[in-house]
Amino acid sequence: MQKTNKRICKILGGFLTETIIIKGKETADLIKDRIRLATTKLAQDPFNIQPKLAVILVGHNPASEIYVKQKVKYAAEVGVLTEIHRLDEEVDFDTLLALIKKLNADESVNGVILQLPLPLHLKPYTYKAMIAIDSKKDADCFNPKNIGLTFLDRANIVPCTSHGVLQLLDQYNVEVQGKHVVIVGASNIVGKPLALELINRNATVSVCNIHTKNIRNITKSADILVVAIGHAKFFDHSYVNEDCVVIDVGINQLFNKSYNPELKAEVEMFGLEKVAREFAATNKLTLEEATDKVSNSIKEQFTVGDVDFHDLLGKCAMVSKVPGGVGLLTVANLLHNTLILTLLQKKLDFTDFGLERRYIRDNRDLSHK
């Protein structure tokens, strides 16, 4: 972000940076439109193909249930079929492996994902299970072959969440070449692949973790700070400089102190609008205020990121929202990967389906690499 672009407002004699809030919906909708265009054509003669994503869900992790629901909903919106395969919490590894093999062999299935985390007793088998998924159906792009192609910048598909971070930066015209990007959190599914993609785009990358000494010295020197540690509201303004662009990848559930089960029961019975109207009348609020209050009181838990969002407002150039930020792109990219995998499996030409040439990685000029 260039300084000249920054909007500054004067408040009570002092200057406050007006922080731009980065939202994911617009970018996710663009990706969804692109997928829908392609699936519409695929569904017709002479192709008659509908891409299908199989999701394996083991046990009843509440967060996983929410994510999977989100994936199924998005898939339906863009013309991708989904198939949920539920396994018991206590299932043994061999049964899981047999299911993965069955889905690998099933020609009607184009993408397979194994929702993480696995239950405790299966955790040590996570790697074995992930590599069992056929690299040609690996919609998450977690397989060593696919992540290796990302490393070499020759991949047709890339990991969904890290790529979403880059798409958000693109959407908000934040150039990464030559910038110091600091990533906190070095996981296999976010931090590491993001570092790879940033290196491929000529950024200067620092990757920090829990053991990093004097971490604030590093994060304060960031032009772009990406946090993915899974610790609610960890990063306040003491970690950033005022020109920093902050991308929050964290998804954490907090218990809602203003949860009101009676109100929830009323909303379930009479609907939000009616309850909010009554609430507005009894508490002398506008309908909008009452709707906000009621909606906030009927959730047992709510989602926050790794960033202390309100503390950062006015203290940095841009900050992304949670929910409503990177998470939306994770899902959109998963379906985009499913589409790409389908086209590759059927040996179809990407450009016939409205996909830009940049998705045909092999045709890019990579001779220098």
Ligand X SMILES: Nc1nc(=O)c2c([nH]1)NC[C@@H]1CN(c3ccc(C(=O)N[C@@H](CCC(=O)O)C(=O)O)cc3)C=[N+]21
Binding-site positions for NADP(+): 185-187, 210, 251
Question: How far, CA to CA in Å, does 59 sit from each of 114, 238, 279?
Answer: 12, 39, 39
- CA dist 286 and 248 (Å) reads 32
| 114 lines the binding site for ligand X (CB under 6 A) | yes
Q: Which of 21, 29, 62 is nearest to 329 (CA)?
A: 29
Count of beta carbons in the 10 Å neighbourhood of residue 344 = 14
Contact between 195 and 183 (Cβ < 8 Å):
yes
Stretch that binds ligand X, among 15-23, 114-122, 215-223, 335-343 (CB under 6 A): 114-122
Stretch that binds ligand X, among 38-46, 63-71, 166-174, 308-316 (CB under 6 A): 63-71
Per-residue DSSP letter, 157: S
Select from 324, 344, 354, 360 the one that contacts ligand X (CB under 6 A): 324
Q: Least distance in Å: CB of 325 to ligand X?
A: 6
Q: Least distance in Å: CB of 241 to ligand X?
A: 26
| 50 lines the binding site for ligand X (CB under 6 A) | no
The residues near 249 (Cβ < 8 Å, ≥ 6 apart) are 161, 165, 185, 190, 226, 227, 228, 305, 306, 326
Per-position DSSP letters for 305-353, written without gaps between them: -SB-HHHHTTTSSEEE-SSSSHHHHHHHHHHHHHHHHHHHHTT--GGGG
Site for ligand X in 152-211 (CB under 6 A): 160
| 251 lines the binding site for ligand X (CB under 6 A) | yes
Q: Least distance in Å: CB of 246 to ligand X?
A: 15
- CA dist 359 and 352 (Å) reads 12
Stretch that binds ligand X, among 108-116, 163-171, 215-223, 340-348 (CB under 6 A): 108-116
Mapped onto helix, strand or coil, the DSSP state of residue 105 is helix
Binding marks (x or -) toward ligand X, 123..152, rule CB under 6 A?
A: -----------------x------------
Mapped onto helix, strand or coil, the DSSP state of residue 219 is helix
Select from 87, 149, 181, 331 the one that contacts ligand X (CB under 6 A): 331
**Residue sitting closest to ligand X (CB):** 327
| 70 lines the binding site for ligand X (CB under 6 A) | yes
Binding region for ligand X (CB under 6 A): 66-67, 70, 113-116, 140, 160, 251, 303, 322-325, 327-328, 330-331
